C-alpha cells in the first residue's frame, strides 16, 4: 500500500477508522434515543388506556345501578287486550322522537308469541313479538330510537338488535316484545 498520494502528501488511514467509530457511536446513540422516545410514548399510551378503562368501568357501574323491575312485579300495569295499532303508533312516535325517516321501515307482529323469559308467570300473560327493520342515515339515531322506546308508556322488552354499517348509514333490525294480560 502506498503511503503518499500522487501529489506527495502523506496518506492518513487513521481518519477512516475514526470516521467509522464516530458513525458507529452516533448510530448507537440514535438507537438508544429512539428507544427512550418510544418508551415515553408507550408510557403515555398506557396511562391513557388505564384512564379509558377507568371511565368505561364507571359507565358500566352506573348502568348496573339502574333498577329494572321483574316482569312479575309489573303485571298489573299491562294492558288487558292486544292493541296492534297502539303498539304501531308508539313505535312511530319513537321513530319521530329519534328523527328517523326510513322509507324501508318494516315492522311485523306475531301475537301470542313464546314468552322471552324463563320465569314462571301468570297464564293470562301474553307476549307480542315485534320485528322492526329499517335503514337509518345516522347510526347515532339507533340509540336515540331505543331510548325513545324505553321512554314510552308501554312496556317493551328488547330481545335482540343487529346493526350492519353501510357507507351512508346503517341497516338495523330489532326484535322487541310487548305484553298484555288476556281478558277473562
CATH of domain 71-181: 3.30.70.60
Q: Where are the beta strands (DSSP E) in 15-148?
A: 106-113, 125-136
Residues 87 and 41: their CA atoms lie apart, in Å, by: 54
Over the stretch 14-35, which tens digit does the pLDDT of each residue have?
677 788 899 999 999 999 999 9
What letters, b where the CB count within 10 A reaches 16 and e where it falls short, cover 21-44? eeeeeeeeeeeeeeeeeeeeeeee
pTM over 0.75: no
Cα torsion 159, 164, 170, 171: sign = negative
Report yes or no: 102 and 136 within 8 Å, Cβ to Cβ.
Answer: yes
Over the stretch 148-165, which tens digit does the pLDDT of each residue have?
888 888 888 888 888 888
Of 11-15, 48-52, 63-67, 99-103, the one with minimum mean pLDDT is 63-67
Average pLDDT over residues 71-100: 86
Across the strands, what pairs with 170? 136, 165
Amino acid at each position: 500500500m502506498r503511503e503518499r498520494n500522487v501529489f506527495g502528501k502523506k496518506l492518513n488511514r487513521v481518519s477512516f477508522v475514526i470516521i467509522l467509530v464516530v458513525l458507529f457511536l452516533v448510530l448507537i446513540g440514535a438507537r438508544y434515543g429512539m428507544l427512550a422516545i418510544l418508551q415515553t410514548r408507550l408510557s403515555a399510551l398506557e396511562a391513557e388506556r388505564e384512564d379509558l378503562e377507568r371511565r368505561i368501568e364507571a359507565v358500566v357501574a352506573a348502568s348496573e345501578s339502574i333498577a329494572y323491575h321483574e316482569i312479575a312485579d309489573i303485571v298489573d300495569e299491562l294492558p288487558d287486550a292486544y292493541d296492534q295499532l297502539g303498539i304501531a303508533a308508539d313505535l312511530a312516535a319513537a321513530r319521530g322522537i329519534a328523527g328517523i325517516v326510513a322509507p324501508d321501515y318494516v315492522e311485523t307482529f306475531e301475537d301470542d308469541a313464546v314468552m322471552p323469559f324463563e320465569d314462571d308467570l301468570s297464564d293470562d300473560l301474553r307476549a307480542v313479538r315485534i320485528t322492526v327493520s329499517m335503514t337509518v342515515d345516522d347510526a347515532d339515531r339507533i340509540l336515540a330510537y331505543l331510548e325513545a322506546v324505553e321512554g314510552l308508556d308501554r312496556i317493551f322488552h328488547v330481545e335482540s338488535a343487529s346493526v350492519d354499517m353501510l357507507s351512508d348509514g346503517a341497516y338495523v333490525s330489532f326484535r322487541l316484545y310487548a305484553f298484555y294480560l288476556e281478558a277473562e
